[in-house]
Structure 1
Amino acid sequence: MRSWLGYPKACPYIGTRGKNVLKTGYIIISFVTGGQMLSNTWGDYLLSDKTRRETLFGDLAKIMLSLNRVKLPRIGSLTSDDNGLIELKNRPLILRHQTFENEGIPTIPRNSTYHSVEPYVLDLLQLHDNRIHYQANAIHNLKDGQEQFAALTMMRGLLPQFISRQYRDVPFVLTLTDLHASNIFVDENWHITSLIDLEWACCSPIELQTPPYWLTGRPIDDIEHGEHLDAFQKS
């Protein structure tokens, strides 16, 4: 009925009021019944089994392309109100930002959303400024401090070189920001059966929709020009 009248559809998962026999709060959660965490077999097959790698990469690509089909008007996070209406009206919150807040470091204000890429990226850099200011052990010594400030200054100066004018304002897409091997469940052949920890999904610039760096089996600091970067690009 709401869609016929031009209103957004309500989410079926909304709270209901009723007599609660429990004296404490509770939450009902689901659980994964099929497959196992990819991290359980990641080290066994990553380099030795090309078929499993291609299967995993293909499934990940299908998931990401499926998410990309829905274009969203701004950068932020989806929320659900008391009536079950889903709206894009909250800040783009990822796990790293929540970790900052847990340590007393200010992050993006709750109701902030972005209509273009540059303000969002500049606020991300501001988070690292805040970490240096509010976290007592953020800088280990003089050299470390100089390197951190130099990196932040350089990133601000080079920002226009890394943002395409074509994608500055649109499109924005739903992105899984906490996609690691323990949040992906697979079957014996590495077909993806389930994804968990989706609470950190948010709407991001299309240029941030990239394959996870860990698909190469190396830390991000090791992906430099040459063999490892080529492996990442091929993935």
Structure 2
Amino acid sequence: MEMRMNPDDVTWEQAEETSDNWLAQFLERSILVPIAYFILEQKRGNATEFAILKKGSYNISLRLKYENEATVIRLSQPGAVFFPEEKVVNEVAVMRFIADQTSVPVPFIVHSGTKKESPLELSPFIIMDYVEHETKMYDALNTPGCPVEERGVLDPDIDRDRLEMLYGQLADVLLRLAMPALPRIGSLSQVDDFTWEVTRRPLSMNMNELVRLGGLPRSKLPKADATFSTTSSYLEALVDLNIEHLAHQRNDAVESADDCRRKFVARRLFRKLARDKRLANPSLDKGPFKIWCDDLRPANVLLNYNMQIAGIVDWEFTYSAPPEFSYAPPWWLLIEKPEYWPKGIEDWTRVFDYRLKTFLKVMKQCEDSAIQQGRLIEAQRLSGPMHDSWTSGDFWVIYAVLHSFAFDAIYWQKIDSRFFGPAESPEHAWKERLDLLDESDKDEMERLVARKLEEMETRTLS
């Protein structure tokens, strides 16, 4: 039985079709020429070449080369990004914040604007300096010979010194990002050249994916101006999203009546834990909060020919978040996510535990160096909190609230037994947990089962 929740393939297909149709126009000279001239209006010079740089998950990037430098325009991709204006405004504000408040290398922003302000009104955009680089951290860590179209996995035979050198740079980035303290959870707005405030909802990658692949109505997300003053209130909002997701995704949400019951029980118990404030550390509940990027991973870390970080790109879905997010060790140490690991989540856990020791070792070295230089104080160390997050299981709680489609696998394999005691097996544990639900919950569960089975039947007939 599938433990993960599959995306709605009808909604997914529609989103992909929208993206493909929009991207196809970039093969036309009549589209490319006005974009090139638009960039030249912002940054004049003797242009030598203009071409598509790459199509990413959420954007298309085009590069205009000059004699000694290059400029990139990045346009949000319809069908991939469901809140394009909000995404770009957030990204610009947070990139300028990171450039001003930390020494993390981010591209310099030349100009940005709305869809209406973009060339040919294509899409909200950012024009930024191109970061010259030789390769990406992803390629430096990935298994050699892994086909481009396949999902990458950390090279199991990677040289230890090389791994420590690469991990050390990533650890240093995480340390620097964790230093600024923010008073609320949410997205940043730039007030003036030196002031930023948390004024809007924390627009996350997971929220975008729930709408794009789960068919979640936008009205179910936190309101656009919603910010959060405590970790516990934010976690409750995220837990509620998982409940809404199960209720609203029409296709591929469940495989059977019992699968629906199991998914319902997991979400209700997780919400109970959130409401009882058992998912967050009480001493951290009121912050201070930290900069968190949902999409920070090796594929977005650019390296120069010396294998040193030249710049980090793709800061969409970055916001002020609970400290527990920064205290959870980064899942991307193995490149691959636990729910996609070929040998399963338990094997991922075993390999991750082994590699985490190396990461925490170099993290401590970074911290020691920063403390000696006066850039860090003892209380700002991340290595201790990361170790504790992993050993306590808090890592899995944070992972579950950030990855809705992986929620079921993570909850039953890594969270349920921690809070409610051992069960016969992850697959059948839900039956043993039914006593923890009250009668109204059970009635609601059976109504949901009936509706989901009807949706499955309707789809089969059509």
Deviations 1:145-194 (A, max 9, x none): 12211211222233433311111111210012111232122245643222
Confirm or deny that 1:79 pairs with 2:189.
yes
Q: CA deviation at 1:220?
A: 1.9
Aligned equivalents of 2:112, 2:210: Cα separation in 1: 30
Aligned ranges 1:199-218 → 2 under 5 Å: 199-209=316-326, 210-218=328-336
1:142 corresponds to which letter in structure 2?
A: A
What secondary structure does 1:111 align onto? Answer: coil
Are the aligned partners of 1:76 and 1:92 in contact in 2 as well (CA < 8 Å)?
yes
How far residue 229 of structure 1 moved from its aligned partner, in angstroms, is 4.8
Give the distance between the partners of 1:116 and 1:13, measured in 2 at CA.
35
5+ unaligned residues in a row in structure 2: which ranges? 1-96, 101-108, 145-153, 360-462
1:101-131 superposed Cα distances (whole Å, 9 cap, x missing partner): 3434331211111110111011101111221
Q: 1:53, 1:190 within 8 Å by CA — same for their partners in 2?
A: no
Considering fraction of residues, name the structure with more helix.
Answer: 2
Q: Answer yes or no: is the 8 Å Cα contact 2:110–2:128 preserved in 1.
A: no
Q: Give the length in aligned residue pairs.
A: 221
1:93 aligns with 2:203: yes
**Pair 1:122 & 2:245 matched:** no
What SS does the corresponding residue of 2:333 show, helix, strand or coil?
Answer: helix
In structure 1, stretches of 5+ residues that fail to align are 1-8
* Shift in alpha-carbon separation, 1:186–1:143, aligned structure 2, 3 A: farther
1:230 aligns to what?
353
After superposition, where does 1:1-235 map in structure 2 within 5 Å? Answer: 24=121, 27=125, 28-41=127-140, 42-44=142-144, 46-47=155-156, 48-80=158-190, 86-102=196-212, 103-105=215-217, 106-137=220-251, 138-159=253-274, 160-188=277-305, 190-209=307-326, 210-221=328-339, 222-224=344-346, 227-231=350-354, 233-234=356-357, 235=359
Per-residue CA deviations over 1:69-103 (Å, capped at 9, x if unaligned) read 2110011111246x666321111111121122343
Worse-matched range after superposition: 192-201 or 155-164: 155-164
CA RMSD of aligned residues (A): 3.0
The structure with more radius of gyration: 2
Amino acid at match of 2:315: L
Moved more, 96-105 or 61-70: 96-105
SS at the partner of 2:286? Answer: coil
Identity among equivalent positions (%) equals 24
What is the aligned partner in structure 1 of residue 148 from structure 2? none
Compare relative contact order (CA 8 Å, sep 6+) and give the higher one, 1 or 2.
Answer: 1
Q: Given the superposition, is the C-alpha separation of residues 224 and 169 from structure 1 closer, same or farther in structure 2, using an over 3 Å criterion?
A: farther
Q: Secondary structure at the match of 1:174?
A: strand
Task: Indicate conservation of the 8 Å contact 1:80/1:87, yes or no.
Answer: yes
Aligned counterparts of 2:248 and 2:273: Cα–Cα separation in 1: 26
Alignment TM-score, normalising by the size of structure 1: 0.79
Contact 1:52/1:189 (8 A) holds in 2: no
Quote how far apart the aligned CAs of 1:60 are.
Answer: 1.5
